């Protein structure tokens, strides 16, 4: 008998005549009972008791360790099956079945449960052995069932081919312009040699509509087998988001937690390759997309990429072989579309007249036509029609429906410019009247004068920057070319309305250009916070005596193209911050003396003021950089010109100026452009002292002076952008500058006039025109 049995009278019967194992397990599983005896058990007696109980429970569950190892092997087999199934799912590019989803979830749950069970078995005491044995047996059965299910005899994927595209819209209004746009796009889509197509145009012009129509037609094109995919590119573009959107269109499953963009790109690439011929349409692209990073295969025969964008530049950067512009629709088509959306057959004559004004105001923009017609559908009261017409006189954006539906679309094009100088230059264009053809050269000159662009060291560099900005605005469909004239641009009516809407609160413009005003606006409209005012191209003849608007922040005032005869002296006294004053093409004869006190003035434009005979002193205008007196009747330079040491542009072409005082030009050392009347003579030494001169028009007195001037211009680091040099023996009144070319002109008599010198005549290397004049005629 054991020592333990001899020392304790309670246990002899337990040891000598053991109870059935079940009872012993119940006894040993009761912690309270076991530990009740703890205090009376000493040293080796406790160890002996534990040995006895452990031996007893081992006899009860002899296969627990072996069963656990078997379960572990089954779990490893299940893990391998899981890896194989996931690999098949990732590479197939198809939609998985729901039963596969459930199987993967159950597998993951069992793997986690086994890891937990294994830890508990290792850490547990002997009295839990029977419980673990039962759990191991139960889990082994579940794991074996999952292993058997992993064969999926009916397949992992849905049988339906869900990658075939779906129709996107009902047939749109098919006018002539729409069909022409569609025909151009369709011809490129079915041309095997054209693999990438860009469709661009201003917001609301119908790019997406015509692209959708092409998409629906492509679904019936046998060569693509329905593999036509439409992806709307989010405005906040990211590679990850675009990959997910394309995967969804392809029914490719990314739900296995793969966030690596390179691996996702590889999956997309493989899936596209398996599709054979396909068309991928990316709608509303705002910036260049790296197709390779996304997973779009290089274009090859049968595989095409189509993008729509508001930016022509984006189309080119995406490598589009064919770039197609969607233009606004014709007036007749606009009228038909408006009536269709208005849903009225007969119109009262007055209502019809108002409708025609509305259609004209929309400028052939389908979105605006649809929105405006929809807002007036069902309106029968003539008073309401008249009220709507009155609202439209100033701006389409005055109507709530237009502001809610059309403005945000147009406004996003402006917001996407990002660069503040692009935005400033664009907004400046709204100072011109509606449908006004804006000359590029003059517009860039204004950009420079208004300091809207980055500063450059030379006029040529600034001019290049101006053209780059205009090109960017044109490619963004915020400016458009005037038909038949490459040198002029204009704003679409609604784009201009959008610009004015922006400036109404932010930049504080007051624009009443081209409205046939006979008087300037009331004084109360000239608020203190105004920054720029344009009253150009009106019918204003006089500004009443005593009017003196309080506009201390006003920087630009444009009164050009008015039959304005006089301005009261007090008019400018409260405009001390004025930097640009444009009085070009007015009938003014004398300028008010208060102009002499505009010390912040940078630009004074009096071009084509054909009645102007004199200008008050300019001595205080020391910040002036541009003075344009071309085509005026002034006979002598204004007093104080020699003090304008910051002057960069001086234009005196076709004036009655007979001479320039000695020393004046020498003091204007920063001049970049100097344009003089043909008959005005200046000492050649003063011209040659202008080291920054880049643009010259004027006459020379001799062959020697001509050669010196040519040598001077050719020696400059920055070649001249323009020159017009005359050598005449006498005044040729009808000679004129007819183009911005690099020209040299001779009067025929001057070639035979020995007083002008003899010897070889040096012509510039980059001369573009050589002109000869006879008796005052070219």
Query: Quick one: 725 exposed, middle or buried, by C-beta within 10 A (0-12, 13-18, 19+)?
Result: buried
The most confident of the ranges 218-222, 330-334, 587-591, 761-765 is 587-591
Instruction: Examine the pLDDT at 59 and tell me if it is beyond 60.
Output: no
- DSSP-based three-state secondary structure for 301: coil
Q: Phi-psi region for residue 491, left (φ > 0), alpha (ψ -120 to 50) or beta? A: beta
Decide if 430 contacts 533 (C-beta within 8 A). no
Q: Lowest mean pLDDT of 23-27, 342-346, 414-418, 739-743, name the range.
A: 23-27
88-97 confidence digits (pLDDT tens): 776 555 556 7
Domain ranges (residues) in the chain: 18-60, 64-149, 176-325, 331-407, 417-504, 508-644, 658-778
- Kindly list the distances between the CA atom of residue 111 and the CA atoms of 84, 98, 144, 148, 588, in Å, as whole numbers in the listed order: 16, 20, 13, 16, 93
Instruction: Report the C-alpha gap between 27 and 703 in whole angstroms.
Output: 131
697: which strand partners? Answer: 675, 724
Instruction: Examine the pLDDT at 167 and tell me if it is beyond 80.
Output: no
Instruction: Write down the pLDDT at residue 622.
Output: 96
Strands lying side by side in the sheet with 580-582: 509-511, 532-534, 556-558, 580-582, 603-605, 626-628, 649-651, 673-675, 695-700, 722-727, 742-747, 769-773
The mean pLDDT of 241-266, rounded to a whole number, is 81
Report CA 703 to chain centroid distance, whole Å. 54
Decide if 508 contacts 529 (C-beta within 8 A). yes
The tokens of 172 are what? 């749109």
Query: What is the fold, at CATH topology level, of the domain defined by 176-325?
Result: Rossmann fold (3.40.50)
Decide if 186 contacts 213 (C-beta within 8 A). no
446-475 confidence digits (pLDDT tens): 999 999 999 988 888 999 999 999 999 998
Q: Residue 99 contacts by C-beta under 8 Å, 6 or more apart in sequence?
A: 152
Name the DSSP class of 560: -
Place of tokens 């029968």: 380
Q: Residue 711 contacts by C-beta under 8 Å, 6 or more apart in sequence?
A: 762
571-598 confidence digits (pLDDT tens): 999 999 999 999 999 999 999 999 999 9
Instruction: Examine the pLDDT at 13 and tell me if it is beyond 60.
Output: no
Helices 420-428 and 459-475, packing angle to 10 deg = 80
Helices (H) and strands (E) in the chain, counts: 28, 20
Instruction: Write down the pLDDT at residue 157.
Output: 64
Between strands 626-628 and 228-232, the pairing is unpaired
Strands (E), 182-248: 196-200, 228-232
Instruction: Report the C-alpha gap between 533 and 541 in whole angstroms.
Output: 17
Instruction: Report the C-alpha gap between 389 and 396 in whole angstroms.
Output: 10
Decide if 456 contacts 462 (C-beta within 8 A). yes
| Percent of the chain predicted with pLDDT > 70 | 81
Q: Lowest mean pLDDT of 340-349, 608-617, 632-641, 690-699, name the range.
A: 340-349
Instruction: Write down the pLDDT at residue 125.
Output: 54
Instruction: Write down the pLDDT at residue 28.
Output: 39
Name the DSSP class of 681: B
- Residue 57: its H or E element: helix 44-60
The mean pLDDT of 308-315, rounded to a whole number, is 91
The mean pLDDT of 313-342, rounded to a whole number, is 90
Instruction: Write down the pLDDT at residue 275.
Output: 77
551-572 confidence digits (pLDDT tens): 999 999 999 999 999 999 999 9
Confidence of residue 398 (pLDDT cuts 50, 70, 90): low
**Radius of gyration for the alpha carbons in the chain, expressed in angstroms and rounded:** 43
For 313-327, b where at least 16 C-beta lie within 10 A, e where not — what string? bbbeebebebbbbbe
CATH 3.80.10.10 fits 508-644, yes or no: yes
Instruction: Examine the pLDDT at 402 and tell me if it is beyond 80.
Output: no
Instruction: Examine the pLDDT at 439 and tell me if it is beyond 90.
Output: yes
- Residue 692's Cβ-side half-sphere holds a number of Cα atoms within 13 Å equal to 19
Query: Quick one: 358 exposed, middle or buried, by C-beta within 10 A (0-12, 13-18, 19+)?
Result: buried
Decide if 515 contacts 538 (C-beta within 8 A). yes
Between strands 556-558 and 532-534, the pairing is parallel
Instruction: Write down the pLDDT at residue 540.
Output: 96
Instruction: Write down the pLDDT at residue 378.
Output: 82
- DSSP-based three-state secondary structure for 744: strand
The mean pLDDT of 531-548, rounded to a whole number, is 95
Has this prediction a pTM greater than 0.85? no
| Percent of the chain predicted with pLDDT > 90 | 34
Confidence of residue 369 (pLDDT cuts 50, 70, 90): confident
Strands (E), 178-328: 196-200, 228-232, 278-283, 303-309, 322-325
116-165 confidence digits (pLDDT tens): 877 777 766 554 666 777 788 888 888 888 888 887 776 776 544 444 55
171-208 confidence digits (pLDDT tens): 566 778 888 889 999 999 988 889 999 999 988 888 98
Query: Could you report how far apart the first and last alpha carbons of the chain are, in Å?
Result: 143
Instruction: Examine the pLDDT at 51 and tell me if it is beyond 80.
Output: no
Query: Quick one: 14 exposed, middle or buried, by C-beta within 10 A (0-12, 13-18, 19+)?
Result: middle
What HEC string does 589-640 produce? CECCHHHHHCCCCCEEECCCCCCCCECCCCCCCCCCCEEECCCCCCCCCCCC
Strands lying side by side in the sheet with 303-309: 228-232, 278-283, 303-309, 196-200, 322-325
Instruction: Write down the pLDDT at residue 777.
Output: 44
**Domain 417-504, CATH:** 1.10.10.10
User: What mean pLDDT, rounded, does the chain reach?
Assistant: 82
Instruction: Write down the pLDDT at residue 629.
Output: 96
Q: Residue 718 contacts by C-beta under 8 Å, 6 or more apart in sequence?
A: 458, 460, 461, 694
Instruction: Write down the pLDDT at residue 632.
Output: 95
Strands (E), 300-396: 303-309, 322-325
Strands (E), 359-499: 438-439, 480-482, 485-490
745-774 confidence digits (pLDDT tens): 887 766 666 655 667 888 998 898 888 876
The most distant pair of C-alpha atoms in the chain lies apart, rounded to whole Å, by 153
Query: Quick one: 490 exposed, middle or buried, by C-beta within 10 A (0-12, 13-18, 19+)?
Result: buried
618-658 confidence digits (pLDDT tens): 999 999 999 999 999 999 999 999 999 999 999 999 998 88
Decide if 559 contacts 539 (C-beta within 8 A). no
Instruction: Examine the pLDDT at 668 and tell me if it is beyond 60.
Output: yes
Instruction: Report the C-alpha gap between 414 and 420 in whole angstroms.
Output: 10
Q: Residue 346 contacts by C-beta under 8 Å, 6 or more apart in sequence?
A: none
What are the helix (H) ranges across 438-570?
Answer: 440-449, 459-475, 493-505
CB atoms within 10 A of CB 105: 10
């Amino acid at each position: 008998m054991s020592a333990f049995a001899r020392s304790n009278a309670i246990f002899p019967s337990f040891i000598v005549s053991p109870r059935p194992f079940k009872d012993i397990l119940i006894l040993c599983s009761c912690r309270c009972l076991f530990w009740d005896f703890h205090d009376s058990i000493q040293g080796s007696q406790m160890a002996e008791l534990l040995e006895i109980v452990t031996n007893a429970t081992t006899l009860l569950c002899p296969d627990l360790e072996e069963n656990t190892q078997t379960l572990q092997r089954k779990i490893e087999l299940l893990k391998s099956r899981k890896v194989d199934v996931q690999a098949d799912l990732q590479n197939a590019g198809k939609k998985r079945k729901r039963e596969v989803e459930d199987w993967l979830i159950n597998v993951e749950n069992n793997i986690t449960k086994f890891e937990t069970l294994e830890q508990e078995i290792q850490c547990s005491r002997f009295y839990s052995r029977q419980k673990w044995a039962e759990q191991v047996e139960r889990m082994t059965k579940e794991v074996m069932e999952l292993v058997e299910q992993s064969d999926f005899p009916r397949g992992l994927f849905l049988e339906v081919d869900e990658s075939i595209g779906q129709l996107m819209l009902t047939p749109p209004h098919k006018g002539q312009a729409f069909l022409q746009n569609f025909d151009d796009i369709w011809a490129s889509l079915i041309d095997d040699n054209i693999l990438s197509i860009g469709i661009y145009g201003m917001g609301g012009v119908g790019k997406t509509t015509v692209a959708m129509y092409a998409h629906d037609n492509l679904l019936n094109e046998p060569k693509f087998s329905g593999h036509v995919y439409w992806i709307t590119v989010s405005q906040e573009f990211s590679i990850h988001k675009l990959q997910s959107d394309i995967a969804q269109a392809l029914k490719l499953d990314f739900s296995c937690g793969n966030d690596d963009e390179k691996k996702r790109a590889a999956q997309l690439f493989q899936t596209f390759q398996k599709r054979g011929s396909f068309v991928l349409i990316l709608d509303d692209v705002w910036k260049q997309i790296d197709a390779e990073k996304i997973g779009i295969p290089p274009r090859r025969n049968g595989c095409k990429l189509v993008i729509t964008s508001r930016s022509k530049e984006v189309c080119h950067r995406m490598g589009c072989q064919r770039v197609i512009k969607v233009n606004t629709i014709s007036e007749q088509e606009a009228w038909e579309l408006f009536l269709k959306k208005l849903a009225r057959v007969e119109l009262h004559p007055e209502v019809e007249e108002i409708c025609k004004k509305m259609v004209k105001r929309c400028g052939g923009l389908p979105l605006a036509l649809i929105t405006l017609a929809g807002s007036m559908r069902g309106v029968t009261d003539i008073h309401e029609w008249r009220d709507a017409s009155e609202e439209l006189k100033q701006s389409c954006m005055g109507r709530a429906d237009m502001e809610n539906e059309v403005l945000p679309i147009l406004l996003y094009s402006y917001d996407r410019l990002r660069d503040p100088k692009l935005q400033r230059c664009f907004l400046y264009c709204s100072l011109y009247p509606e449908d006004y053809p804006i000359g590029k050269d003059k517009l860039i000159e204004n950009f420079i004068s208004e300091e809207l662009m980055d500063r450059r060291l030379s006029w040529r560099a600034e001019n290049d920057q101006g053209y780059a900005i205009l090109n960017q605005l044109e490619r963004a469909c915020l400016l458009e070319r005037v038909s038949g004239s490459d040198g002029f641009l204009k704003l679409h009516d609604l784009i201009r309305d959008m610009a004015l809407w922006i400036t109404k609160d932010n930049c504080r413009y007051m624009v009443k250009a081209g409205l046939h005003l006979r008087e300037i606006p009331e004084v109360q409209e000239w608020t203190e916070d105004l920054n720029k005012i344009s009253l150009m191209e009106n019918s204003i003849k006089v500004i009443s005596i005593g009017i003196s608007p309080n506009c201390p922040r006003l920087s630009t005032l444009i009164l050009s193209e008015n039959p304005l005869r006089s301005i009261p002296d007090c008019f400018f006294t409260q405009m001390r911050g004025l930097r640009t004053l444009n009085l070009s093409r007015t009938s003014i004869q004398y300028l008010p003396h208060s102009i002499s006190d505009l010390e912040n003035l940078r630009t004074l434009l009096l071009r084509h003021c054909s009645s102007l005979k004199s200008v008050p002193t300019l001595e205080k205008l020391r910040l002036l950089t541009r003075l344009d007196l071309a085509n005026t009747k002034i006979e002598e330079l204004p007093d104080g010109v020699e003090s304008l040491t910051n002057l960069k542009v001086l234009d005196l072409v076709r004036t009655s100026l007979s001479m320039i005082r000695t020393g004046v030009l020498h003091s204007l050392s920063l001049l970049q452009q100097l344009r003089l009347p043909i008959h005005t003579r200046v000492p050649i030494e003063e011209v040659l002292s202008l080291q920054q001169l880049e643009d010259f028009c004027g006459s020379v007195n001799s062959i020697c002076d001509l050669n010196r001037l040519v040598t001077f211009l050719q020696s400059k680091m920055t070649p001249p952008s323009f020159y017009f040099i005359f050598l005449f023996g006498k005044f040729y009144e009808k000679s004129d500058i007819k183009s911005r070319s690099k020209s040299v002109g001779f009067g025929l008599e001057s070639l035979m006039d020995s007083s002008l010198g003899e010897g070889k005549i040096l012509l510039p290397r980059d001369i573009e025109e050589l002109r000869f004049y006879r008796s005052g005629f070219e």
